[in-house]
């Protein structure tokens, strides 16, 4: 029987490549689990724009600051094409506010003991931002997403505490200090790292390599 593997996904919920990477990960996991193997996923915080104000900023101002232009159509042609290949259709033109994502990451963090719930929260946040054009920096918006996804009121309240928000910022900074400059970033069994929205085939290969190494270590223990 194949040994279970652990996958850490370093990601930001306003990163379209991270949503694409999540779909590729899901495809790889489907093949992996069909072979009788198991995996545990942990989502970790990364802020692409930690310097944004707590309340975020207007999307048009953000695009001008980040890319030197306020029209996103030409900026997102490549990522839109890549998203369509995995069945995603983010609507960049409808986004009105660029949020600071520390509160969103705090929401994800309170579900750390329930990987399935945590994964559902990540998906709900991607959907809320890229498809529903919600401001996922607002506490009331995040509270609604949390409750609708299955968080208890106590966990929703905990996610909005200064402690959890600060932990999310610290976690993001820690990954930056470890050399991660872009996301998604996948870490398999704390030994194999893959940067970017890797295709499912590459992720599956990394799973197999990590498991083979794990089995070898256990056989020599």
What CATH number should be reported for the domain holding residue 45? 3.40.30.10
- Confidence (pLDDT) at 1: 56
Average pLDDT, the chain: 94
Residue 111 near residue 121, CB atoms below 8 Å: yes
Please give the pLDDT value at position 17.
98
Please report, rounded to a whole number, the percentage of residues in the chain having pLDDT higher than 90: 85
Mean pLDDT of 194-215: 93
CA distances from 94 to 59, 81, 128, 132, 181 (A): 10, 17, 12, 8, 27
Summarize pLDDT for 43-59 with one digit per residue, the tens. 999 999 999 999 999 99
Asked whether residue 92 carries a pLDDT value surpassing 80, the answer given is yes
**pLDDT computed for residue 169 by the predictor:** 97
DSSP, collapsed to helix, strand or coil, labels residue 192 as: strand
> Range of 199's domain?
5-219
pLDDT at 44: 98
Predicted pLDDT at 221: 61
Helix intervals (H) in the chain: 16-34, 59-67, 77-85, 102-109, 115-130, 139-149, 153-159, 162-177, 200-219
pLDDT at 29 over 80: yes
Question: What's the rounded Cα separation, in Å, for the pair 46 and 122?
Answer: 13
Beta carbons of 102 and 47 less than 8 angstroms apart? yes
Distances (CA, A) of 145 to 48, 117, 149: 21, 12, 6
* Number of separate domains in the chain: 1
State the pTM of this model.
0.95
Residue 184, C-beta contacts closer than 8 angstroms, at least 6 positions apart: 9, 10, 11, 15, 17, 18, 21, 22, 195, 196, 197
Question: Which pLDDT does position 3 carry in this prediction?
Answer: 75
Is the CB of residue 117 less than 8 Å from the CB of residue 111? yes
């Amino acid at each position: 029987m194949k040994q279970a593997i652990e996958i850490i996904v370093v990601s930001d919920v306003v990163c379209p490549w991270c949503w694409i990477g999540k779909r590729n990960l899901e495809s790889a996991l489907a093949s992996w689990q069909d072979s009788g193997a198991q995996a545990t996923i942990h989502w970790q915080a990364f802020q692409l724009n930690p310097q944004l104000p707590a309340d975020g900023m207007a999307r048009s101002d953000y695009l001008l600051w980040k890319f030197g232009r306020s029209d996103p159509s030409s900026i997102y042609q490549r990522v839109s094409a890549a998203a369509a290949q995995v069945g995603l259709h983010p609507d960049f033109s409808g986004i009105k506010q660029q949020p600071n994502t520390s509160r969103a990451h705090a929401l994800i963090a309170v579900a750390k003991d329930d990987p399935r719930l945590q994964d559902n929260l990540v998906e709900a946040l991607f959907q809320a931002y890229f498809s529903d054009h919600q401001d996922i920096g607002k506490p009331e918006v995040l509270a609604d997403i949390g409750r609708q996804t299955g968080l208890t009121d106590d966990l929703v309240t905990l996610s909005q505490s200064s402690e959890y928000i600060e932990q999310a910022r610290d976690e993001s900074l820690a990954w930056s200090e470890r050399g991660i400059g872009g996301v998604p970033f996948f870490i398999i069994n704390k030994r194999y790292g893959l940067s970017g929205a890797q295709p499912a085939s590459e992720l599956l290969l990394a799973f197999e390599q990590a498991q083979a190494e794990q089995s070898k270590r256990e056989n020599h223990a």
